[in-house]
Amino acid sequence: MKVALCGVTGRMGKTILSVLLEKGHVLAHALDADSCSMLGQDAGAFIATKTGIAIQSLSSVSLAADVAVDFSTPSATEVLLQKAVASSIPVVIGTTGFSETQRIKIQKAAEFIPIVFSPNMSVGVNLLFKLTQIASSILQEGYDVEIFEAHHRLKKDSPSGTAKKLIDIVRENRKDLEQAKLIHGREGIVGERTNNEIGVMVLRGGDIVGEHTVYFVENGERIELTHRATSRENFARGAVKAAEFVVNKKPGLYTMFDVLGL
């Protein structure tokens, strides 16, 4: 495939580039922000190789690729989608932190091009999503639900997109928690825990790649579903798998469940 990679200088961008080249795909565009200090340099400088493709600003490029892979920022994703729709190019979106308005724009774009949209491309994390779906449908009223996530100190959004997806899964499968209040911290005399809340706790520090745990707690027992990532390569391989999947698909909004056949 000829791939346009948006957010190429980021942590995930570098790792995805390595996986793309390892699998024999071709880098068509290496894209980043107008303010990126690496503009004009070979995209392979990060991974000790030469690609022959200079890093360019997203705003300056007309896309010509088989697929675009996006791990950038919500505002950059909006620009990328406009260009992708204009050129009929499929898109894989792994960016997080979207507002509801931006999510609607993604849904609208999917009416014209195929899009894989997931807050997490890891095979293991998507298995966590599926297990949470199963557990939420079985562990109904009486089981308190709490979610914990941890990431590196440089992560900008909180809670993570993966944690938000886990919340959505719980709400979809627990009617009693469909309108549950999200509790992002407890301090002082806050009173007893109610039956209409989901605790969402966040840790930020060091170089933690990513950790997520969903707790289902009842009197006398506790079920914990946990995924811990020790490398970004798992996410990158999932993103490349999604790109391979979405090429030649019909317009529509796809998830990693579709990619993995879950």
Q: Pick one of 3.40.50.720, 3.30.43.10, 1.10.287.1080, 3.40.190.10 as the CATH number of 2-117+232-260.
A: 3.40.50.720
Q: Read off the DSSP letter of residue 218.
A: E
The answer for 161, left when phi > 0, alpha when psi is -120 to 50, beta otherwise, is alpha
pLDDT at position 255, please? Answer: 94
Q: What is the pTM of this model?
A: 0.81
pLDDT tens by residue, 33-56:
989 888 999 998 888 889 999 999
Quickly list H helices, 110-182.
123-138, 161-173
Q: Are strands 2-6 and 26-32 parallel, antiparallel or unpaired?
A: parallel
pLDDT at position 120, please? Answer: 86
Question: CB of 60 within 8 A of CB of 36?
Answer: no
Q: 2: closest CA among 22, 20, 16? A: 20
Q: 113: closest CA among 70, 164, 166, 52? A: 70
pLDDT at position 11, please? Answer: 87
Assess whether 212 carries a catalytic annotation: no
Catalytic residue among 2, 105, 130, 155: 155
pLDDT at position 48, please? Answer: 82
Assess whether 227 carries a catalytic annotation: no
Tell me the fold of 123-229.
Answer: Dihydrodipicolinate Reductase; domain 2 (3.30.360)
Q: Where are the domains of the chain?
A: 2-117+232-260, 123-229
How far is residue 132's CA from residue 126's CA, in Å, rounded to a whole number?
A: 10
Q: Hey, what are 65's tokens?
A: 């690729």
Q: Hey, what are 2's tokens?
A: 């000829």
Catalytic residue among 151, 164, 165, 241: 151
Q: Are strands 144-151 and 210-218 parallel, antiparallel or unpaired?
A: antiparallel
Kindly report the number of other CB atoms within 10 A of residue 96's CB atom: 22
Ranges under pLDDT 70 in the chain: none
